[in-house]
Chains A and B, each alone.
Chain A
């Protein structure tokens, strides 16, 4: 079999590894001087940016708190965020656990809708993920 090299990536210990893989010797080589300053672009799913909490003792956070802040999620999903917070509030009231369950279920509906929305990639069609043979 002919030997060839290809650049590959993997994740390990909260880091991304980039290495040149030789298919014949099965050895991995780290980037060298000829790769210095070459750009790596990572496309990823991200966590939501959290709202600043008004009572943070950190002075900078206090100044960043804003009533007009908005969630990263599209507007049609904001109700589900509110539903989850409402459910968490009802969980503290043993006599109103039924209401907690109602709002949890509403949030679950939002998760299903959100997954479908993400899957369609906002284009009305399904996401295309190119398979890579390795």
Chain B
């Protein structure tokens, strides 16, 4: 369904609402739907840097499912690495 059809369906119930307002409502609905259903999945890559432990996450990420690291097992393969339960006792901000 195209955006135009969605807007027209809402306008059948709310002819007094403008397009801008309806599009904002559709976006509110989309945000809630993606958060609650966890239906949309994706993947992203970045390169490790010397001495850098923390890498900023994109705002589009709701929840990380898994992480692969190139060379984590000493080979050139991309292998799954485990998630740490909790946080390190000794923290650093690098």
- Kindly state the interface size class of chain B when it binds its partner: 35 or more
Q: Which of B19, B60, B86 contacts A47 (CB 8 A)?
A: B60
The smallest C-beta distance from A116 to any residue of chain B, in angstroms, reads 9
A51 pairs with B3, CB closer than 8 A? yes
List, in ascending order, chain B residues with CB within 8 A of A97's CB. Answer: none
Considering the chains assembled together, what is the distance between the CA atoms of A72 and B43 in angstroms? Answer: 15
B33 pairs with A114, CB closer than 8 A? yes
A70 pairs with B1, CB closer than 8 A? yes
Question: Interface of chain A, helix or strand or loop or mixed?
Answer: mixed
Considering the chains assembled together, what is the distance between the CA atoms of A35 and B22 in angstroms? Answer: 49
Tell whether A69 is near chain B: CB-to-CB under 8 Å.
Answer: yes
List, in ascending order, chain B residues with CB within 8 A of A41's CB. Answer: 43-45, 67-69, 78
Contact mask for chain B residues 66-83; partner A; CB cutoff 8 A; 1 contact, 0 none: 111111100000101111
List, in ascending order, chain B residues with CB within 8 A of A45's CB. Answer: 34, 38-41, 61-63, 65
Nearest residue, chain A, Cβ from B46: A40
A134 pairs with B62, CB closer than 8 A? no
Considering the chains assembled together, what is the distance between the CA atoms of A21 and B27 in angstroms? Answer: 42
6 A-B contacts, Cβ less than 8 Å apart? A18-B53, A31-B51, A48-B31, A72-B34, A81-B30, A118-B38
Nearest 4 A/B pairs, CB to CB:
A84-B29, A114-B37, A85-B25, A89-B14
